[in-house]
Amino acid sequence: MHKEKPLIEIRIAGLMQGTHTFDFSCRAKDFRGHVLAETVFTRDIAVTVIAEKTENELTVTVRTATVADFTCDICLVPLAREIRGEYRLYYIYSAEEKNQESMDDDHRQIDLNTVSIDLTEDVRETLLLSLPMKVTCLGNPNCRIYGSESGKFDSCTDEKSSWQESLEKLKNKYR
């Protein structure tokens, strides 16, 4: 049976000691079975994997770069922003089975005969981690109307003003 090839996979069998770079290009929809919001990741995602091999260790650096689509948290204007992520993993070559429990997520054990490493899930995680917590427009004067100078959105002010506005209308009505 033909096993489906992982989206992001590096071949490490026969890899010489030293630094090796692998380049990939993918789309959000390529991550089968793993959810990446296709409304955010709408464009090509560039992935660079740098593998540094020593005698008994393999250090893998995953770098992602793409332009993602957001909406401003304050004024909801659509925004496209370049986002970059980086994640480092350490693979330790070992002939015998070590206690997996003692290894954390970034430190993994691999067999000396391992042919390739599937990094699809790590790339997906790097992309998710590279998403900014907050997205607001920069240098958009229309955005400032709703936000304070510091960019902090005070929803109470807005509610209060519309509430005061209606009160004002009411007052005028009964004057």
Contact residues for Zn ion, defined by CB under 5 A: 72, 74-75, 77, 137, 143
Angle 141-145-146 from CA coordinates, rounded to 5°: 125
| 2 three-class SS | coil
Q: Between 59 and 71, name the residue whose CB sits nearer to Zn ion.
A: 71
Q: Between 74 and 119, name the residue whose CB sits nearer to Zn ion.
A: 74
User: Smallest gap, in angstroms, from Cβ of residue 131 to Zn ion?
Assistant: 17
Q: What are the residues facing 89 on neighbouring strands?
A: 60
User: Smallest gap, in angstroms, from Cβ of residue 72 to Zn ion?
Assistant: 3
User: Smallest gap, in angstroms, from Cβ of residue 171 to Zn ion?
Assistant: 32
Q: What are the residues facing 26 on neighbouring strands?
A: 45
Q: Between 49 and 72, name the residue whose CB sits nearer to Zn ion.
A: 72
User: Smallest gap, in angstroms, from Cβ of residue 30 to Zn ion?
Assistant: 31
Strand 45-53 and strand 57-71: the pairing is antiparallel
User: Smallest gap, in angstroms, from Cβ of residue 129 to Zn ion?
Assistant: 24
Q: Between 51 and 74, name the residue whose CB sits nearer to Zn ion.
A: 74
Strand 45-53 and strand 18-26: the pairing is antiparallel
Q: Between 85 and 147, name the residue whose CB sits nearer to Zn ion.
A: 147
Please spell the DSSP secondary structure of 71-139, one letter per residue.
E-TTT--EEEEEEEEEEEEEEEE-SSPP-GGGS-TTEEEE-TT--EEE-HHHHHHHHHHTS-S----SS
